[in-house]
Amino acid sequence: MVTSRVSLIDGVRINQFKTISDVRGTFIKFHPLIELRNSLDSVALSINPKIGTLRGLHFQIEPFAEEKLVACVQGSIFDVIVDLRPSSSTFGKWTSFELSAKNSLQAYLPKGIAHGFQTLMPASIIHYGLSTNYSPESSFSIDPLGDLGIDWPIKELSLSENDLLGVTFEYAAKKYADSLSS
């Protein structure tokens, strides 16, 4: 299946987090959205010193599928999401947007959305709110340079071997769908 880019993925929400700045610095307050208020399990940071660092496209299958709240608190990233949910009207589609400390945007990602990003600035830090623990047996990566046709903005990239050896979209979609019926 060839996927394509869309402007919006069903169930994904983008909103602004609050920042308060004065001579001392900045205070950031995240809004864990109604979807995560009762299921927030952990908070994580991704610290990326180099421009062009590419992470993803990551997802977990049931029973460890994750809802995520993602924000870039320092620097800037090209954020990409892919819909793996077989019953979604945007199944097989992907979209991208910029998350940065400057625009103060955060993205809510429901279960069944693969997520990845590329750093647009050095020293970019990404903040995650996650609804479940990391499970290595349930965790997968879609090849970010593979069949999705994503045009990553920085051509000189830094990529882990695990992400480079990621699965195809078709395999990922089947793995996620199969986990729903288990």
CA distance 59 to 139: 6
61 Cα distance to chain centroid: 15
| Three-class secondary structure assignment of 56-114 | EEEEECCCCCCCEEEEEEECEEEEEEEECCCCCCCCCEEEEEEEECCCCEEEEECCCEE
Strands 42-48 and 13-16 turn out to be: unpaired
Specify whether 128 is catalytic.
Answer: yes
CA distance 49 to 83: 29
Specify whether 127 is catalytic.
Answer: no
CA distance 143 to 129: 24
Catalytic residue among 58, 108, 115, 127: 58
CA distance 14 to 108: 6
Catalytic residue among 108, 127, 128, 171: 128
Q: Is 19 helix (H, G, I), strand (E, B) or coil?
A: strand
The tokens 């299946």 sit on which residue? 1
Query: Which residues are tagged catalytic?
Result: 58, 128
